[in-house]
Chain A
Amino acid sequence: MSSTVIEVRTAPHLHSGRSVDQIMRNVVYALLPMCFYSVWLFGISAAALIATTTAACVLIEYWSCRASGREASIGDFSAAITGLLLGLTLPPGLPLWMAVVGAFIAIAPGKMIFGGLGFNVFNPALVGRAFLQAAFPTAITTYTPALAMHRFSEFIPTTLAIPFLKAAPLKDWIAQVRIDGFTGATPLMLQKFDHVTTDPWTLFIGTRAGSSGESSALLILLCGAYLIARKMMDWRIPAAMLLGAIITGGAYYLSDPVKYPSPLFVLFSGGLMLGALFMATDPVASPVTPRGMWIYGLLMGLITVLIRFEGGLAEGVMYAILLGNALSPLIDRLTQPRTYGEGKRMFAKELAAK
């Protein structure tokens, strides 16, 4: 023992054992069931889309780390999450080359330019998607039916479109796969432009057209519940966002129950569930203060519904979250919690002033 060399470190000498890569890995686990369900609904096109975005995101992050001389950060799984999320938010028949463009925008300007994980201002997947929405407005609003025939043996024709060439119109293909009455619209589009409301149960289990991973509210809730139960996701942000959407949707519904759908439809349609549980909760771009989280969530729920009902777009989740991301530093600043003993100190100051 006389020769023992003891190590000096600073307290604390214990750690919870949590680590960033462990949390991120579990987010990947939580996203996988949604990916599989998407493949079941939309077939090999969805599989190709999600695989493409994920591989592209990881590779682009790897290359940008190399290019900037930094240690490769793909081991923290955050690039994989961005890729999976991007794939899940895109229409299953989106041309793969566009998906690669989206992945590039998400990772390079969306994340690495700011300094990589922890420094991005916006959720990278949504940055990529927003770019695609602006650049390819038609492709990104072209939806294909769920449970189409032959979905496991052939691609949706648009999937393999050649870059910068006009893709074959989907009309023939949709007629061919024989989905009765399918108009190529999502439940939100049907509701907004044709005033046809899809029943909540279909929305809940997700057998409907839409982005590849947004369809089943039930599955998304289950996957989110896994992360919340493992304390790897904050329940307050999704709760606040869904609550904000219900309140705003409810107010519209009460004002005119004929024109506006029920809050239940608002809750289960579109990308609200996926956005609230897996996009808005991106810790990097959301507030850290308890009150801030509620304000951030409620605000995003409100804006989502406002865009849906008042704006020109059928869906508003993406812009709502991006706006929320932009506001989160400000929200954090304005909602700094009152620290222990602070009130009394101000009182003492006043006393001293007297």
Chain B
Amino acid sequence: MPLMEFFTGKHLDRGLHVPEHKDLTSHLPIRRLPFAPVLVVPLSQHAGAPAIPIVHEGQEVVRGEPIAKAGGFVSVPMHAPATGRVTKIALAPSARGDLSTAIYITPYSAASQEILYGAPQDIANMTPAEIVQAVQNTGVVGLGGAAFPTHVKLKVPEGKTVDTVVVNGCECEPYLTTDHRVMLEQPKQVLQGARIAMRALGAKKAVIGIEDNKLDAVDALRDAAEGSTDITVEAVPAKYPQGAEKMLVKVLLGREIPSGGLPADVGLAVFNVATLAQIGELLPHRQGLIERVVTITGPGVRKPGNYLVALGTPLRWALQQADCSDQLSSVILGGPMMGAAAGSLDIPITKGVTGILALTHKQVNGHSRIYPCIHCAACVDVCPIHLNPSHLGMLARKDRYEEMETDYHLKDCFECACCSYVCPSHIPLVQYFRVAKQMNRERKARA
């Protein structure tokens, strides 16, 4: 559709405008949160194999020191988030609701908590393979929420070439402002990270895509990139779910990632700005990822903000620091459109947590009545993948999960939840699709 794009400019053709609520925190500089009395570092905070502990109970660790090694190529090591003592290695509740192994660390309150661990390394002379290894050593994963090990994406798949690195600064989820603050406060690190990624992938250029509700971030990055021709910064009209990589590469470059494929299939690699900022920050010093920026916000906290949180900080502690209400009804990890509700306040904050949204009873109204589908087509009009959620929902209700996948592209759904958001019948469409996908996976596993 090059002709259409000529007339309409770069924009997302479907999707929708969700009330942003970003003004609660977008103006607040990143502030460090105090250490919790106990930090709980799960060994599986990322997609892929869990890390393997290399410390034992009772051992003293210094801040930044590796405490677990990668459990394979698609895995990353863990680093001590604070100077202190390993009190135990035991099961801990996780965000998914199950228990997973974690390293418990009690920070020393008298320690300076300076990051002593690390050594400079000369990135300029590293080969792509060395960069991939060095990035794995930092323990960095996708900080936009996916938590997929970043070094895996820095390795060009066999037979493919990557010509452009796409840097994702959209942050289209309502409430979240971590990427916004990172771009404002660490533009140099973002660019440094982008250059490292370009070197590792052999890409000639990079495009940073930022939604136009963050024009100050666009300016900050443009100022930082002044004089360079290989990195461009583009403002795109804000619309949810533009931050999904499939959407962003289409909007910025007009390329479509094939169904079931990877960005590399169309010569691209996509990284979140915060991920690249961490790589730009950590790699030259051979350090590890021990903290991340988390937006703690919502009507349930009286001191919303963008907090630099030590990994392993319990949710309850983080909420208390933000002066949370005692009327909390639900706590969401990530944004309100795709984030999961926390099942417990004892779970630790991990590498993939972009935000903590605290809602009080006032926001959560009673269960809305579910009406039958009236075929109003609102879901069809917002689906960014051009699926037919109305029909998929009907099939799901009849348990026709296979047909959903074979005939109606269920697998292409990335669960942005636009359909559920607009449905006047309040049908939990995206939840139906999650269930359907799970059922199909289980059926295949049995076969």
| A interface list, Cβ under 8 A from B | 1, 4, 6-16, 18-23, 76, 115-119, 234, 283-290, 293, 332, 336-345, 347-348
Contact = CB atoms under 8 A, between A and B. Distances in A.
A339 B386 contact: yes
B380 interface: yes
A135 B376 CA distance: 32
B372 A117 contact: yes
Given A11-B340, A76-B371, A22 B174 contact: no
10 contacts: A12-B337, A12-B417, A15-B426, A19-B371, A20-B425, A22-B424, A76-B371, A284-B374, A340-B256, A341-B261
B422 interface: yes
B368 interface: yes
Interface stretch (B32-40, B80-88, B98-106, B324-332): B324-332
B378 interface: yes
B167 to A, nearest CB: 21
Which of A10, A14, A336: most chain B CB closer than 10 A? Answer: A14
B72 interface: no
Contacts of B261: 341, 344-345, 348
Given A22-B424, A118-B371, A339 B387 contact: yes
Given A10-B341, A290-B381, A15 B388 contact: no
Size category of the B interface is 35 or more
Contact of B391 (A4, A288, A343): A288
Contacts of B246: 340-341
A38 B240 CA distance: 45
B284 interface: no
B368 A288 contact: no
The interface centre, meaning the residue of B259, B345, B376 with most chain A CB atoms within 10 A of its CB, is: B376
Interface stretch (B56-64, B108-116, B287-295, B428-436): B428-436
A299 to B, nearest CB: 17
A199 B390 CA distance: 44
A10 B330 contact: no
Contacts of B118: none
Contact of B371 (A4, A117, A286, A341): A117
Nearest to B373: A118
Contacts of A344: 256-259, 261, 265-266
Contacts of B369: 19
Contacts of A118: 371-375, 425
Interface in B1-37: 18-19
A341 B374 CA distance: 28
A115 B408 CA distance: 25
B377 interface: yes
Given A116-B372, A285-B375, 5 more contacts: A6-B329, A8-B343, A23-B374, A289-B388, A341-B261
Question: Which residue among B319, B337, B374 has the maximum number of chain A CB atoms within 10 Å of its CB?
Answer: B374
A337 B388 contact: yes
Contacts of A14: 18-19, 174, 336-337, 421
A20 B259 CA distance: 34
A51 to B, nearest CB: 26
Contacts of A21: 371
A288 B330 contact: no
Contacts of B428: 10
Contact of A7 (B256, B364, B385): B364
A348 B264 CA distance: 14
B316 A6 contact: no
A77 to B, nearest CB: 11
B409 interface: yes
B386 to A, nearest CB: 4
B259 A8 contact: no
B386 A337 contact: yes
A348 B261 CA distance: 10
A12 B345 contact: no
Contacts of B420: 12, 15
A18 B422 contact: yes
Nearest to A115: B372
B324 to A, nearest CB: 7
B444 to A, nearest CB: 19
B16 to A, nearest CB: 8
A336 B415 CA distance: 20
A342 B342 contact: no
A6 B391 contact: no
Contacts of B340: 10-11
Contacts of B342: 6, 8
Q: Which of A13, A14, A285 has the most chain B CB within a 10 Å cutoff?
A: A13
B320 interface: yes
A76 B371 CA distance: 9
A18 B378 CA distance: 10
Nearest to A119: B372
A71 B14 CA distance: 36
Contacts of A341: 246, 256-261, 385, 412
Contacts of A19: 368-369, 371, 424-426
Contact of B331 (A6, A15, A119, A290): A6
Interface in B351-403: 357, 359, 364, 368-369, 371-378, 380-381, 384-388, 390-391
B376 A283 contact: yes
B378 A340 contact: no
A236 to B, nearest CB: 9
Contacts of B385: 339-341
B258 to A, nearest CB: 4
A288 B388 contact: yes
A314 to B, nearest CB: 31
A30 B181 CA distance: 47
B267 interface: no
A312 B359 CA distance: 64
A288 B371 contact: no
B338 interface: yes
B188 interface: no
B71 interface: no
Contacts of A283: 374-377
A1 B337 CA distance: 26
A342 B324 CA distance: 46
A12 B259 contact: no
B341 A6 contact: yes
Given A290-B381, A340-B256, A11 B328 contact: no
Contacts of A6: 328-331, 341-345
Nearest to A281: B376
Nearest to A234: B377
A3 to B, nearest CB: 9
B303 interface: no
A21 B374 CA distance: 11
B48 interface: no
